[in-house]
Amino acid sequence: MAGDLVVVAGGGGFIGGHLVADLLNEGFEVRSVDSKPASRWYQVHDDAENLVVDLRLKDASEQAVAGARHVYNLAADMGGMGFIEHNKALCMLSVLINTHLLQAALAHDVERFFFASSACVYAGDKQTDVANRGLRESDAYPASPEDGYGWEKLFSERMCRHFGEDFGLTSRVARYHNVYGPKGTWRGGREKAPAAICRKIAEAVLTGRHEIEVWGDGQQTRSFTYIDDCLYGTRAIMDSDVVEPINLGSSEMVSINQLVDIVSDIAGVEVERVYDLAAPKGVRGRNSDNTMIRERLGWEPSIPLRDGLEQTYAWIFDEVEAAMPAGDRRAAGVDAR
pLDDT confidence of residue 333 = 46
Q: Are 320 and 252 in contact (CB under 8 A)?
A: no
Domains of the chain as residue ranges with CATH? 5-179+225-248 (3.40.50.720), 181-223+252-296+303-328 (3.90.25.10)
Query: Choosing from 42, 149, 176, 226, which is the catalytic residue?
Result: 149
Between vectors from CA 311 to CA 307 and to CA 314, what angle results, nearest 5°?
Answer: 135
Picking from 282, 281, 296, the residue whose alpha carbon sits closest to that of residue 247 is 296
CA distance 128 to 67: 46
Pairing of strands 29-34, 5-9: parallel
Give residues with Cβ within 8 angstroms of 201, minimum separation 6: 212, 260, 263, 264, 267, 269, 271, 313
Write the DSSP symbol of residue 135.
Answer: B
Partners of residue 176 on adjacent β-strands: 118, 248
CA distance 303 to 66: 36
CA distance 248 to 227: 11
pLDDT confidence of residue 332 = 40
Write the DSSP symbol of residue 276.
Answer: E
Q: Following CA atoms 244, 248, 301, 310 in sequence, which dihedral angle do they give, to the nearest 10 degrees?
A: 170
Q: Are 214 and 326 in contact (CB under 8 A)?
A: no
Peptide bond into 325 cis (omega under 30): no
Residue 123's Cβ-count burial label (10 Å; 0-12, 13-18, 19+) is middle
CB atoms within 10 A of CB 310: 15
CA distance 3 to 202: 42
CA distance 272 to 134: 31
Partners of residue 275 on adjacent β-strands: 214
- Does 232 qualify as catalytic in the annotation? no
Q: Are 113 and 102 in contact (CB under 8 A)?
A: yes
Residue 81's Cβ-count burial label (10 Å; 0-12, 13-18, 19+) is buried
Picking from 156, 66, 162, 169, the residue whose alpha carbon sits closest to that of residue 118 is 156
Q: Following CA atoms 293, 294, 299, 304 in sequence, which dihedral angle do they give, to the nearest 10 degrees?
A: 90
pLDDT in tens, 133-146: 999 999 999 999 99
pLDDT confidence of residue 337 = 53
pLDDT tens track of the chain, all 337 residues? 656 899 999 999 999 999 999 999 999 999 999 999 999 999 999 999 999 999 999 999 999 999 999 999 999 987 767 787 888 999 899 999 999 999 999 999 999 999 999 999 999 999 999 999 999 999 999 999 999 999 999 999 999 999 999 999 999 999 999 999 999 999 988 899 999 999 999 999 999 999 999 999 999 999 999 999 999 999 999 999 999 999 999 999 999 999 999 999 999 999 999 999 998 888 999 999 999 999 999 999 999 999 999 999 999 999 999 999 887 776 444 555 5
φ, ψ of residue 336 to 5 degrees: the values are: -115, 35
pLDDT in tens, 274-286: 999 998 888 999 9
CA distance 175 to 178: 10
Count CA atoms closer than 13 A to 218's CA, side-chain side.
Answer: 14
Between vectors from CA 135 to CA 134 and to CA 136, what angle results, nearest 5°?
Answer: 115
> pTM, whole model, 2 decimals?
0.94
